[in-house]
Amino acid sequence: MKEFDYVIVGGGCAGLSLAYELDLHQKLDNKTLAIVESRTEYKKDKTWSFWKVIPHNFEDCVKKSWDLFYVEDGEKRTHHSARKYPYQTIDSGLFYKKILNTLKKNKNIRFFKNIKEIKTTNSFIFNSVPKVKKFNKDGENYWQHFYGIEIETKKGIEEDTSQMAYEKELINPEAVGLMDFNDKIRSWINFIYILPFTEKKVFLETTWITKGNRSIPPYEHQILDRLWSWNIISRAAFKGNFPRDDKKVDRRLNKIMEGRGSSKFVRNPFKVNYKEHGAIPLFHPVYEKKENQINIGTAGHMTRLSTGYTFLNIQEHSKYIRKNIENIRNVELFKQDKKYLFYDKLFMKVLELKEVAFTDEIRRDDYLSRYDNRIQNIFLKMFSSPSNTVIKFLSNKSNFYEDLSIIFKMPKLTFIKALFY
Ligand SMILES: Cc1cc2nc3c(=O)[nH]c(=O)nc-3n(C[C@H](O)[C@H](O)[C@H](O)COP(=O)(O)OP(=O)(O)OC[C@H]3O[C@@H](n4cnc5c(N)ncnc54)[C@H](O)[C@@H]3O)c2cc1C
């Protein structure tokens, strides 16, 4: 059986980023690498977005970069500048293509489908396959999960720009809708995320934070509701009961788009270019320490727990490994700054407080009518700090004074309660 100096298990974002970084810096000229990846084909399966607070290797895979983003609370839209740290979106299809084309030129790199095909006793392993329960089987841990579609319309997309629903304007392709709580479904943590590529091409995603899929959220409702408010489909498309699983969302959307008895619902003909459905674990999986192994990516705790952002942490981790590759068995593990782990743990406890309220059956009706906005308020208050401060805070780059400026904005009582929870 063939042996390699290094083995990367999982050729996804972290595995390929690391292999590319090593290859780019000639660390594989005299060393061999096996990449073990179980998928049969690579195609676009994710869009990775982030504020560009550090340089990265994938500028040529950026689909669009924005200097402006907004958050919206149902009453007010607040714009924030991202001129210093643009918000970028990477097309995973371009990312895979670029990396695979490069790696295939290096004779020291081989690809395998299964780890059993190689001998690993003397290799150093970079593992990116997290050992976690599947999202839909996990009722204990928090997950950020989402369902998104990239649509392309015939006419420009119109949106409400004021609470006067009659006033519509073309969607602004220069501003990302980072968190739009407008169509929020009561007492859940959910918001709409919008990446406007042009006035006619938009990525629209409904994003949720729940413990597993304890109750399957009504993704469809939010997607169709937004298509209606954008004047793409008519109100009549809402007839009947809303199915609660996303396969049925697909079916209903397809039916509308293909005009199978439903084209009368369409006001602005559209096609769906791409669909994204996924879940990010908002917890760090625990592993036993192994002498000859480092975990990378989601498995290597690179996810920022309060936001799900992982991509740039993966890039920093890859650089760290490349710089220390000659001494990789002895070097200290790369970790996110402890202070962010502390803040995020506190944030997760605030979620927990919310859960307590939600599962309190006796007060459930009362609770629903009170419409819990705690999490929404935390984010909105955070965004009342200067844009660059918030961006740096959410991207693990804030200094002590910037942290303080965010902390002072937070609802004190809620966080003190969470601290002692
Ligand atoms: C849909 C989606 C959108 C996201 N969007 C963003 C974003 O906008 N910004 C951001 O910062 N983060 C985002 N994330 C979070 C994070 O950046 C991604 O999950 C990222 O892909 C994590 O990289 P990874 O290498 O850890 O995992 P993956 O990219 O999932 O790679 C793991 C690889 O392991 C392979 N594999 C699995 N089991 C085996 C096995 N037994 N043997 C061999 N191979 C195996 C898989 O096929 C996969 O290719 C998103 C996550 C998802 C799911």
pLDDT in tens, the chain (421 residues): 899 999 999 999 999 999 999 999 999 999 999 999 999 999 999 999 999 999 999 999 999 999 999 999 877 899 999 999 999 999 999 999 999 999 999 999 999 999 999 999 999 999 999 988 888 888 888 899 998 999 999 999 998 766 555 678 899 999 999 998 876 665 567 889 999 999 999 999 999 888 876 555 667 778 888 998 899 988 777 666 655 666 676 677 777 766 665 667 888 988 889 989 899 999 998 877 888 999 999 999 999 999 999 999 999 999 999 999 999 999 999 999 999 999 999 888 887 776 555 444 434 444 443 445 767 788 888 999 999 999 999 999 999 999 999 988 887 777 777 777 6
Locate 27 and state its tokens.
């660390």
Q: Going by CA atoms, what residue is nearest to atom 46 of ligand 1?
A: 10
Whole-angstrom distance between the N-terminal and C-terminal Cα of the chain? 53
Structure tokens at 206: 């409904």
Nearest in space to 353 (alpha carbons), one of 284, 417, 282: 417
Ligand 1 near 36 CB (within 6 A): yes
CB 126 near ligand 1, within 6 Å = no
Residue 317's identity, in one-letter code, is H
Does residue 23 have its Cβ closer than 6 Å to ligand 1?
Answer: no
Distance (Å, rounded) from C-alpha 280 to C-alpha 142? 9
143 CB less than 6 Å from ligand 1?
no
- Alpha-helix residue ranges (DSSP H) falling in 66-218: 92-103
Establish how many alpha carbons lie within 13 A of residue 329's alpha carbon, considering only the half-sphere containing its beta carbon.
7
Ligand 1 close to Cβ of residue 15 (< 6 A): yes
Q: CA-CA distance, 71 to 164, in Å (whole number)?
A: 19
CA distance 255 to 175: 31
| Protein residue with least CA distance to atom 15, ligand 1 | 310
Ligand 1 atom closest to Cα of residue 146: 1
- 242 Cα distance to chain centroid: 26
- pTM value is 0.92
Regarding the beta carbon of 46 and ligand 1, being less than 6 Å apart is answered yes
Q: Give φ, ψ of 66 to 5 degrees.
A: -120, 145
